[in-house]
Structure 1
Amino acid sequence: MSELYDVIIIGGGAGGMSAGVYAARGKMKTLIIEDKRNTGGQAATTSEMENYPGIVEATGPQLMDMFREHCNKFGVEFARGLVSDITIADDGFIKTLTTSKGETYQTKSIIVATGATPRILGITGESEFRGKGVSYCATCDADFYEELDVVVVGSGNTAVEESVFLTKFVNKVTMIVLHDQGILDADRTAQEQAFANDKIEFVWNSVVEEICGDELVTGVKLKHLKTGEISELSTDGVFMFVGTVPKTDFIKGQVALTPQGYVITNEKQETNVPGIFAVGDVTDKFLRQVVTAAGDGAVAAVAADRYIEEEENWRKSVSEFGGTAMVAFWNPLSKESLAVINQLEQDCKDKPDQRVVTIDTYKSQNIANRFSVSEVPVVIRFDAGQEAKRVDVKDIAELDTLY
């Protein structure tokens, strides 16, 4: 069993390494576990990176090397492995990660940053020309095809919206659609935008059989699904928009996911499991970019730090305290709460085996949710760490029933 970490980040892409920088700089003992030989995630496979603020021009690998160097500066530890299982202690605080090779790591919090991979169709030439004319991100690569002709594979919302976006840069977009003429999988508004755009053309009832080229993409071979006829179409690039696949198999059934398998998080990047956070492309989000993943990482790291502080304070003040702890759930806007706290402090004065613990329900939502506190003031008496009596205070005189 390894030493205990404050946070373990699963995945060394932009989101994971951003979380690493913020966590380690905040003096958290931090480990990033990455299953690939090199860190960087999908960004490390992008040939050019021109839309990350402050970085006028760099390749994806260069930018990710800078992320890694930043992590190194603050002492982030790295380990290689594929996390296959997460178990949580009975008290919900200590988490144990197990890799596919049987290695185990213990931590107080987890940030899932495993990302999502573009769905690969396995077309001949798709892998060979990735980054050399085959792209999975119009926002990243559109300006490299200025005044050129490109092909888009797909007909859903993403494919249609990205095709419209591409027309701001390219000469022509040809969408390859497997459905009959006029049928797209996108919503009505997106379809209307595509059909009204004179830079977008459609090839119906067809699929891409092969992506052709030399050092770069020069064309595609198309197969008509009804006639079986093979035709060739010259193009300078192929954009694949047939979906992405999140890497969440190891947390299915444990953390709440969308039907598509993406992790559901709130504004603090918290999952439904206290102490487990998720960032970047693995989450259910609007825009999947390096800059948004980095922002997620910063939020999650700070939220994880606050979570640990909250939990450790609870353990020290309540669950590991051998005496009686009067836990008052309150918020600063409640005058009744303040009166209750004042009365408790008077009652416990000069009693070394009793203490008053205040829980601000806004700042400590995990603790409040754990005890189903939705309104304040509420006081719960704990004897030697065990809940003994609860009072939802309507009248301050009710506090007498706690003793």
Structure 2
Amino acid sequence: MNNQAYIYAPRYMEIGGGSVSGTAAICRRLGVTRPLIVTDPFMKTSRLIDRLTVGLDASGIEYSIFSDTVPDPTDTVVARGAKVLIEGNFDCLIAFGGGSPMDTAKAMNILAAAHRLDPGIHIREFKLPLNADATAVPLIAVPTTAGTGSEVTRFTVVTDTVNNEKMLISGLAALPVAAIVDFELTMTVPPRVTADTGLDAFVHALEAFVSRRANAHSDLFARSGLSLIGHHLRRAYAEPGDRLAREAMMLGATHAGIACSIAPVALVHAMARPIGAHFHVSHGMSNAMMLPVVTEYSLPSALDKYAEASRIAGFARSEMDDETASRTLVEMLQRLNRELSVPSPRNYGISPTEWQRLLPLMADQALASSSPYNNPRIPARGDIVALYQASYG
């Protein structure tokens, strides 16, 4: 294992129940006075956002709210948000919500900075393999789901509505300056969202752990994520009010996010993104759809790491040999999908004709993301097509 690593993390992190009340203090430390809050319509109408704004109001911080985000951030929404950021003369962004508001805010920040040099530039100009390192303003991330870990990663995903492609964008510009990780914001998250975001976080931890780019530093955070999520996801799903489970899930998601920011994600994510783009399946659910079949396919190339992951997550017993422990991992991932009511693509309602028609394009888009080359077993195009076929139902 190569133990040389680049470690990316926010400058400030405040973790713990009630920590959202410290947002105004972080604004003062950053020297910003006019933030634009990026959230979604539900957060605004449910008044959960009051947990954030009451502290800003008390501190006399003037803010505005951009709540036009959509579940899978699109280039059109990002362009609209960047225009608001530029024209409003804001000096800070606060992303409040799940992965979509955070990804939207990151992309808005990248695009607003680029517009200073080229007002006509499109966000697709920054998709991998390019790096996006210039920002317009500091970004503070406040997650309200235990899933994406976007509050600590240097990645954002935006859908290109012209090409119907989920674009992975990476760089220092996508890394928040500050993260506020308050598990109390997740206490009212419904079971479906708990399942999908929790499985997304588990995939982050697992893929970082088995990645060809894994090292001792990513493994440290991946092990924590695997353990916390593996032992608490079903509890958080079945008992939404369990504070211990919610806190463990939130911390696990953050640690998994740090892990995959060091050792980037692999084949599961690569294959999940096209499913989300073409069939509008949530990111976490599309990851879960692909997780068992991709894991089984990848076992031979990293049997020891998959076996260790299975033990850490509490799926395999410590005395099991690697072959048995890794097979137990696949079986438990299949069982977890059943228990958390994750549908197959067929049961989700995707027609077999449309699925088959799009398989070649989805395979090409998965390969183009570069994520498959982090996988323990690097697939050929035909392998990806076969895995899509196997996952259908």
TM-score by length of 2: 0.22
In proportion to residue count, which structure has more strand? 1
In proportion to residue count, which structure has more helix? 2
Larger Rg: 1
TM-score by length of 1: 0.22
